[in-house]
Structures are given as C-alpha cells and as structure tokens.
Amino acid sequence: MQMKFLNWLAIAPAWILAAAIAQAAPRFEDSMAQRTLACTGCHGKEGRAGPDGYYPRISGKPAGYLYNQLLNFRDGRRHYGLMARLLDPLSDAYLLEIAQHFAALDLPYAAPPPATAAPAQLQRGQALVREGDPAHDIPACVQCHGDALTGAAPNTPGLLGLSRDYLNSQLGAWRTGQRRAHAPDCMARIARQLSPEDVAAVAAWLAAQPLPRDTRAVATLPRPPAILCGSAMRPAGRPQP
Amino acid sequence: MKRVIAAVLLGILTVVALVLFLNFRGEDEIHDAPPLTPPAGESVARGAYLVRAGNCMACHTERGGVPFAGGRAIETPFGTAYASNITPDRQTGIGDWSASQFWRALHNGRSRDGRLLYPAFPYANYTLVTRADADAMFDYLRSVSPVARANTPHRLRWPYSTQAALAVWRAMYFSPAQYRDDAAQTAEWNRGAYLVRGLGHCGACHTTRNALGANSDMLDLSGGVIPMQSWYAPSLASPGEAGLHDWETAQVVRLLQSGVADRGTVLGPMAEVVLHSTQHMAPADLRAMAVYLKALPRTTAGAADAPVAGVRMAERGAKLYEQHCAQCHGDEGEGVRGAYPPLAGNRAVTLPEAANLVQVVLGGGFPPATTGNPRPFGMPPFATLLSDDDVAAVVSHIRGAWGNKAGAVSEFAVSQQRGGIGR
C-alpha cells in the first residue's frame, strides 16, 4: 500500500504538469521538440506513432537507424512525398540532430491489439522470427533485431510496437524495390526470400507482441550476424550516434 | 504556275536560311582539342565557386544521385527534359569535350556534336557568362570524379521534340549575348547585374514565360509562374511583390545567405536556390546582387485583386487559424522572431497570385538549413488534415486580417493545386 502511494507521489507532478500543458496554449520554447512540430503532426505527439498506426513511431528508435531513414526518404530510397519535401532543404548534420532528438525520447508504448490471425499463421510467424528458415535461406530475425526484438544500436530498429499494415507494407516494399537501404541492403535480400505467406505471418505475429519492460535497443548483439548490413557515413566531425 | 512554285520555294529557302543564320550567329569556330593536362588548382577553385553561383548541381544531379552525373527530370509544358551527365566521363559525360565546346554549350546552347540544346538548360541566361568564367567552370568539372551514366533520352512531345522546331524557337527567342558593363553605373552594380542576369539566372524563374515557354523578356524579372510547378516566382521589380527597393542591403544579403530575413523566409524552389547556391556566395557578391536588385526600375504589381472573403468564410477561416496556425504564427500574425515568419504585413501572404500560399499550407516546409540558420523550425503539412474548403478559408483569412488587404482564394484554386503536392 505504502509502495503504491509512493509510486503515485513520484509520478503525480508529471500528471499535473501534463494536464496544465494540455490546457494552456503551448508556449514557444527554443528546443528540438519545437523545431520538429512539423513531424509530430503525423508521427503522433512526441513521435509515439500516429492515431491510425500507419504513421510509424519514431521516438526511442536507434539514432543511426532514424538517421539512415531520413537520408533514405530525402535521397529517394524510400518514398513518401509529403515527408521528403520537408527533408529536402535540411543538411545531413541537422538530420542527424533530429534523429538523435527522437532517439533519446523514452516514452511508453501502447498495448498491442489482440491477435486476430489463425494460430497456425502465428506459429509460422514466431518460428521465422526466432529460428528463421534455413531451408529457404531465411535467417532468424532475432539475429540482428535482438533477442527481445527491441533492436540493436546503432542502426537496427526494433520490430515491436509497429502495426501489421506497416510491417506488411515495409516488407512488401523491400520485395518490390520500393524501399531500399544503404548497400549492402541486407533486408532486401531477406525480404525476397520470404514468400507472401511468410510476410503475412511475421507481420501478424510481430504486431501482436507486447513490449518487454526495457524497450531500448541493445548496445551489442551476442553474436555478429551472418549477413552484412549497410549504413550511411556520419557527417564529418559529428559524434557517432 | 512555275513562277509561283519558284517564289514559294524561294520563300521557304529564305526562311530556312534565316533560321539557320539566327541559330549559328555569333559562334566562333572550334579548333581546340580536349585538354590533355589536369586543370590548375587555382582555376578549379574559382570554377567550383562559379558552378555554385550558377547552381549547376541542382539540375545536373538526380535525387540521391552522384553530383553532376545528370538524370534529373525537368518538367516542361512540352514534356520532360533530362539534365545531362557533366562529369568528365569520356563515353557518357564531357570527358572528351574541349574548352571551346563547353563554352559553346553555355554561350550558344549547342552540344559537342552540334545538336541544339533545349532551353530547359537556362543558356538564355548563361550566354552572358564570360569566357574566362566558363573556362574555370570547365576546369572544375574536369576535376570531379567521372561517372559512367548514359544520358536519359528526353521525353518531349512532337513537334517540340524536333531540332527543326527548336531551331525556329531559337530564331525567335534566343540570341547569344555578352555582358557589357554599363559605364554609368558603379562596378558593384555591374557585378550584381552580371550575377543576377547571367550566372545566377534569377530570371529563369522570376520572369513570365509565354505559351512557347520563352521568357518574354529574359531579364525584366517581373515575376512568373514556374511551369509545371504551381509556384509563383514574384516580381523582383515590384515593391508590392518581392521588389527589394526599400529593404536594407544587409537584409537582402541575409535573405540570400541564410534563407531568412526580418521580412521574409524563402520557400520551395527559392529555398533550393539559397541552399545549393547563394548561401555559398561571397558576401561581396551578395552585396553586389543586392545593390543591383535594389536599383531595378520599379514597376507596380499587375493583376487586379479578387474580392475579399465574405463574412461566413472569414469567420470559419479565423476559427481554423486559431486552431491550427496561431500556435506558431501568433494570435495577431506576429510570428516569432528567428523561428516563425510573421503573417501580418508579409508580402508572401498578400501577393495577388496566391499559388505559394496554397503550396505552403498543403505541403508545409522548413526554411533551408544554411550556415546562417543551421537549425530551422518547421511547418507541418496540412494536406492530410484540411479540406480544400478549409484551406481556402484559412488562406483567405490571413490575406484579410491584421491590416493585410488581399483578396480571397477560392476552393477551386486550392483543388487545382492539390494534385501536385507530395509527389
């Protein structure tokens, strides 16, 4: 009982503060959050995923991954016109700073929607993620995305907290060449090994998994992955994310 | 009968001869061979600066592509032209060109093999570039890494795709020219005129194009809609549009150097110009351009304005403004200095041509991240949030509020532009 009360006490100021902010018109502050209001309109308040789940969450993802994506959209390896247009006039150094801003946010995730897929499909999904399918040259996803699937610094994102639609469309886009990553594009190779049924299965299973307590990406993987993945060089003179 | 035929034939021959004459006039014969020695470092450095002032990279680089390797599509009313590979690759670029052939491309608009070039390449402006500057740019381009990338064939509609049509067009609208100093003006003004009218090719956007895609007077800077882009490049000669006559010189320099000034922020295609070109120019050159622009003969903005918004539309617009815009631009359209442009008394808001406003509200944007403004604040796109009707109402509202006195914008005008957003 006492424990609970103390907990409540600890978070109370945050609640009260949040309520106050919601009421008063937000005041101007010279911050990265203010600078990136153009992003959070779609990506949800503070970048925690948009209302319909299609606008992916960006906060808390590894900075190197976010940076690579911003370059991908700006340089035409991923396509979303409304976003590319915002990124066009920005420098590499500033894009890195934006990536680091969102990466540093540590915000709670919503609970996943209940799984609606057939048990057999979910089983196939889980097997692919955990063990891969050596017969079809498909490595286990956990090799790179981490045992807890929360990603690995600096460039590999987590796979939880994403909607089924988003996962389906991203893996589909890699298969058709609509989404590309820096060479060597390991995900393109893996996505092409997946059959359409496999894509549906991993998307269904991943989208239904709750997040572990610690949602942060692991600093290092237990074993170096079998396939190499590419990444952009960091702007000169900048710290590695 | 024979006489008539002879007369007609003679007439045709005369016209063809005239077109040919007009196309080749002012051309020097080419005798030099492609250079065999690497360019001198000093010339390369000067050329690098001039290539930026001419913004060659912006067109000659594909999205995400290698600089100068070409391939970027330039949409025109006559189809799509693709910028060429101008890296020194011998097969696909300009590695086998001589300095005179490069000069002829800029000055006369003809390729190495004699082909007439399309005016999507703004040689109508570059024709004013001096031979010495062209040679330095050639030296710089010879120093970049060669890239083997075959040119993309243009996709222009017949008859515009033919050399004959291009020859007629050039006979009508293009003549090679040289910049001659105006002795009545200062050296600074002349330097500015050379940069604005020649290498900087400001007139390529800031001048009206006629139905045949020609700038009526390449150099009057009286404003024009950029073909196929739904952006309006305002008149630099009219103080009611983007004329700079009553701006302090330092503010003009700041705008071109950083993308933001007290009274305006660059948007869209102009943000690209600042990002890739003017921010890299020497302060002395920017000052010279400012001096020239400030001294342009004043004109008054043309088109009569549309009627102001009706009461119902104005009320709805005011509500939408409060809900979506006031947070950044302020209750009184006052903006936040250094972050958000003011909308009260802002010429970008009251321009008779409202295309840019609709573009900004639908697509949002950041000012360019420049050395002078490295961490800009952004505006969200409203294309997915507001209907055409809403956009018309809020834009009409800001055009008529806080002392602004410009006419309303119709829902139709918004819907016409929506298609071009976010492609």
3-state per-residue secondary structure call for B301-322: CCCCCCCCCCHHHHHHHHHHHH
Where is average pLDDT lowest: B89-93, B97-101, B125-129, B171-175? B171-175
Lowest-confidence region among A54-63, B203-212, B312-321: B203-212
pTM of the model: 0.92
A96 to chain B, minimum CA–CA distance in Å? 11
- Once rounded to an integer, what is the mean pLDDT over residues A89-107? 96
Does residue B85 register a pLDDT over 70?
A: yes
Of the candidates B64, B327, B364, the beta carbon closest to that of A86 is on B364
pLDDT, chain A, mean: 86
Q: Tokens 């960006």: give the residue.
A: A58
Mutate to test the interface with B, among A21, A31, A36, A37 (most CBs of B within 10 A): A37
A88: pLDDT strictly greater than 80: yes
pLDDT at B73 over 70: yes
A238 touches chain B (CB under 8 A): no
**Please, what is the average pLDDT of chain B?**
92
B375·A35 Cβ contact <8 A:
yes
Lowest mean pLDDT, pick from A91-100, B260-269, B304-313? B304-313
Percent of chain B with pLDDT over 70: 96
User: Mean pLDDT throughout B123-140?
Assistant: 97
Provide ipTM, 2 decimals: 0.91
Question: Cβ neighbours of residue B128 under 8 Å, at least 6 residues apart?
Answer: B177, B178, B179, B194, B197, B198, B199
Contact of A21 with chain B, judged by CB distance below 8 Å, is answered with no
- A86 part of contact set with chain B, CB < 8 Å: yes
Fold category of B311-418 in CATH: Cytochrome Bc1 Complex; Chain D, domain 2 (1.10.760)
Residue partners of A121: CB distance under 8 A and separation at least 6: A200, A201, A204, A205
In chain A, % of residues over pLDDT 90:
73
pLDDT above 50: residue B160:
yes
Strands B231-233 and B260-261: unpaired
User: What pLDDT is recorded for position A220?
Assistant: 93
CATH number of B187-294: 1.10.760
Q: For residue range A8-23, what is the model confidence (pLDDT) as tens digits?
A: 333 333 333 333 333 3
pLDDT, mean of residues A51-57? 74
Give the per-residue pLDDT at B217: 57
Give the strands of the sheet with B79-82, arranged side by side.
B73-76, B79-82, B155-156
Chain B neighbors of A75, CB-CB under 8 A: 63-64
CA distance B168 to chain A (A): 38
Average pLDDT, stretch B236-240?
92
Average pLDDT over residues B70-95: 96
Domains, in order of start, for chain A? 119-232 (1.10.760.10)
pLDDT at A52 over 70: no
- pLDDT at site B224: 83
Interchain CB distance below 8 Å, A85 and B376 = no
Can you tell me the distance from the alpha carbon of A211 to that of B203, in angstroms, rounded to the nearest whole number? Answer: 57
Distances (CA, A) of A235 to A67, A91, B157, B309: 11, 9, 43, 49
Do the Cβ atoms of A85 and B364 come within 8 Å?
A: yes
Pure H helices in B194-282: 203-206, 249-258, 268-276
B336 vs A contacts (CB less than 8 Å): 28
Q: Which of residues 342-401 of B touch A (CB under 8 A)?
A: 363-369, 374-381, 383-385
> Structural domain boundaries of chain B?
33-173, 187-294, 311-418
How confident is the model at residue B263, as a pLDDT?
86
Give the model confidence (pLDDT) of B375-421 as tens digits. Answer: 999 999 999 999 999 999 999 999 999 999 999 999 999 998 887 66
pLDDT above 60 for B303:
no
Overall average pLDDT of the B218-222 stretch: 68
What's the angle, vertex CA B326, arms to CA B343 and CA B367, rounded to 5? Answer: 55
Residue in A closest to B63 by C-alpha: A75
Q: Does A177 touch chain B (CB under 8 A)?
A: no
Query: pLDDT-derived band of residue A238, with 50, 70 and 90 as boundaries?
Result: low
Taking the Cβ of residue B58 and every Cβ of chain A, the question of whether any pair is shorter than 8 Å is answered with: no
Average confidence (pLDDT) over B50-66: 96
Taking the CA of residue A91 and the nearest CA in chain B, the distance in Å comes to 6
Q: What is the nearest CA distance from B343 to chain A, expressed in angstroms?
A: 17
Q: What is the pLDDT of residue A16?
A: 35
The shortest C-alpha distance from A35 to chain B (Å) reads 4
Contacts of A123 (CB under 8 A, 6+ apart): none
Decide if pLDDT at B50 tops 60.
yes
Chain A interface includes B45 (CB < 8 A): no
- For chain A, the C-alpha Rg in angstroms (whole number) is 19
The pLDDT assigned to A5 comes to 33
Q: Cα-atom radius of gyration of chain B, to the nearest Å?
A: 23
